[in-house]
Amino acid sequence: MKTAFVFPGQGSQSLGMQAELAEAFPIVRQTYEEAGEALGRDLWSLSREGPEEQLGLTVNTQPLMLAAGMAAWRVWRERGGAAPAWVAGHSLGEYAALVAAGALAFTDAVRLVAERARFMQEAVAEEAGAMAAVLGLDDDAVRAACEQAAPAGVVEAVNYNAPGQVVIAGEKPAVERAIEAAKESGARRAMLLPVSVPSHCRLMRPAADRLRAALQDVSIDPPGIPVVNNADVAVESDPAAIADALVRQLYSPVRWVETVQRFVAEGAGRVVECGPGKVLAGLGRRIDRSLPHAALDTPAALDALLQEEE
């Protein structure tokens, strides 16, 4: 069976995440500790004890989520799980996908995403940016709402997560105006998200420039597993092209619907979410109900997935 492994990004973190996996498999804690050592921070204790406000800070969340994705991946491989046919990651999750594919060293990726988070946070003044989820409108209607709000500032559709579920981002007054325009157009819900960094819109271009410079000091190898990237829904083997896609990802939409559709078109038999929670599995079912989705988030889920391979 052809399998795609996908790695979640910010928003899937929670206090005590992966507790059952960590109790069953020491490599989970070891992975968090390895990431923490690379940054000089105690990421394991932060993930267990919080405080929750610190867990939710972009500069902490990004390396934590990378560690969580890799912890689940290492458990899978340690238990003899087969390499998937493709990997992909949602936003930040693309870095975990690249590590799993052998394109990035884990500790290099940890340091890189910590820098990425800092660049993003510093690109827009605190409270100046915002993101919002719009539910129940098609993509064109969401983009039209953003255009209506344009006089109030930058606002763009940035995450195409599932049919009828799009995230917008930009300057806070414009995002708030777009929320009202979306509601006027019949959105079932439109609400601000609890984040301060307006990811994947053009306000992130200064952060992208800094990321491009940081990537020059990181070794990228051709992936051993095809990685479907966010920016182009494409598979790249050239390290320079991979780096360029990571740079553009910062100010380009996450095209998750198209990513899942590509798995279907190429004959995937299932998609496995590798990390805490089941956010991507839920989105995937909404994108294509014919494609089985599972989450590798507990020992029981791991056993079930391994049995499917027998």
Q: Which of 90, 200, 252, 293 is flagged as catalytic?
A: 200
Q: How far apart are CA 30 and CA 195, in angstroms?
A: 29
Q: How far apart are CA 55 and CA 47, in angstroms?
A: 7
Q: Which residues contact 301 (CB under 8 A, 6 or more apart)?
A: 294, 295
Q: How far apart are CA 8 and CA 281, in angstroms?
A: 10
Can 90 be counted among the known catalytic residues? Answer: no
**51: helix, strand or coil:** coil
Q: Which residues contact 294 (CB under 8 A, 6 or more apart)?
A: 270, 271, 272, 273, 281, 301, 304, 305
Can 91 be counted among the known catalytic residues? Answer: yes
Cis bond before residue 8 (omega within 30° of 0): no
Q: How far apart are CA 289 and CA 198, in angstroms?
A: 30
Q: Which of 91, 196, 199, 252 is flagged as catalytic?
A: 91
Residue 133 · residue 188 · CB < 8 Å? no
**Element at 170 (helix H, strand E):** strand 165-171
C-alpha neighbours within 13 Å on the C-beta side of residue 107: 8
Residue 259 · residue 88 · CB < 8 Å? yes
Q: Where are the alpha helices (DSSP H) in the chain?
A: 19-24, 26-39, 43-49, 52-55, 58-78, 93-100, 106-123, 139-149, 172-184, 205-215, 239-249, 256-265, 279-287, 299-309
Q: How far apart are CA 234 and CA 212, in angstroms?
A: 19
Q: Which residues are catalytic?
A: 91, 200
